């Protein structure tokens, strides 16, 4: 069934303005649906967490620590390493990121602000001597997961050996 635009009324200031909506949900239902979308404990995050815990089984791992700028998805204190699992849409992946065609001005500003914030946070963490790694959501798909697992495990083991050699 095709979506049919329907006229709706919305109060704008003291005026009632009629607008056309392509949404199939009422604003209240749309709000409920959007609030159910999680920002933590997502499948890509859990996949990276599993790789890290399997590679470094006895190392302390923190998820979303409030004490670290930008609240990285995974933080390994002894390695001074912050790992961010980036969604291709929300963080404008160079390979898959795109701006939606509708409400383009809003989304372009929003997504550019996300990228600018990511850069500021990474710079702040690096200035504190914390390594910053980004793992893109698309690299955690089933077709790429084995390669990402091997690459991430190799980098983690290398960083752990580097830390051990310093002590």
Q: In this predicted model, what pLDDT tens digit does every residue of 35-52 receive, in sequence order?
A: 766 667 788 999 999 999
Which contiguous run of DSSP H or E holds residue 17?
strand 15-21
CB-CB contact of 99 with 117 (8 Å): no
What is the Cα gyration radius of the chain? 21
Model confidence at 76, in pLDDT bands (50, 70, 90)? very high
Give CATH superfamily name and number for 38-166. Answer: VSR Endonuclease (3.40.960.10)
Domain ranges of the chain: 1-37, 38-166
Higher pLDDT, 88 or 101: 88
Nearest Cα to Cα of residue 82 among 126, 27, 18: 126
Residue 52 CB contacts under 8 Å (≥ 6 apart), including other chains: 61, 74, 76, 83, 152, 156
Instruction: Determine the pLDDT at residue 16.
Output: 54
How confident is the model over 61-71, as pLDDT tens digits?
999 999 999 99
How confident is the model over 93-118, as pLDDT tens digits?
888 888 888 888 888 999 999 999 99
Q: Distance (Å, rounded) from C-alpha 13 to C-alpha 10?
A: 10
Is residue 165 scored above 70 in pLDDT? Answer: yes
Residue 71 CB contacts under 8 Å (≥ 6 apart), including other chains: 64, 65
Please tell me what DSSP assigns to residue 77. G
How confident is the model over 116-161, as pLDDT tens digits?
999 999 999 999 999 999 999 999 999 999 999 999 999 999 999 9
In the numeric block, the tokens 């690459």 are attached to 151
Instruction: Determine the pLDDT at residue 153.
Output: 97
Q: What is the mean pLDDT of residues 15-29?
A: 64
Q: What is the mean pLDDT of residues 73-86?
A: 96
């Amino acid at each position: 069934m095709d979506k049919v635009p329907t006229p709706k009324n919305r109060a704008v200031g003291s005026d009632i303005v009629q607008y056309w909506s392509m949404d199939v949900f009422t604003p209240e239902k749309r709000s409920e649906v959007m609030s159910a979308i999680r920002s933590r404990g997502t499948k890509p995050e859990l996949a990276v967490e599993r790789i890290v815990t399997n590679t470094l089984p006895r190392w302390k791992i923190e998820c979303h620590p409030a004490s670290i700028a930008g609240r990285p998805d995974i933080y390994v204190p002894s390695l001074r390493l912050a790992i961010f699992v980036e969604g291709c849409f929300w963080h404008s992946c160079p390979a898959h990121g795109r701006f939606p065609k509708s409400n383009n001005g809003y989304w372009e500003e929003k997504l550019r602000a996300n990228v600018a914030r990511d850069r500021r946070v990474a710079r702040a963490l690096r200035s504190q001597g914390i390594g910053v790694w980004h793992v893109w959501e698309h690299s955690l798909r089933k077709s790429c997961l084995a390669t990402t697992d091997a690459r991430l495990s190799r980098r983690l083991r290398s960083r752990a050996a580097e830390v051990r050699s310093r002590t």
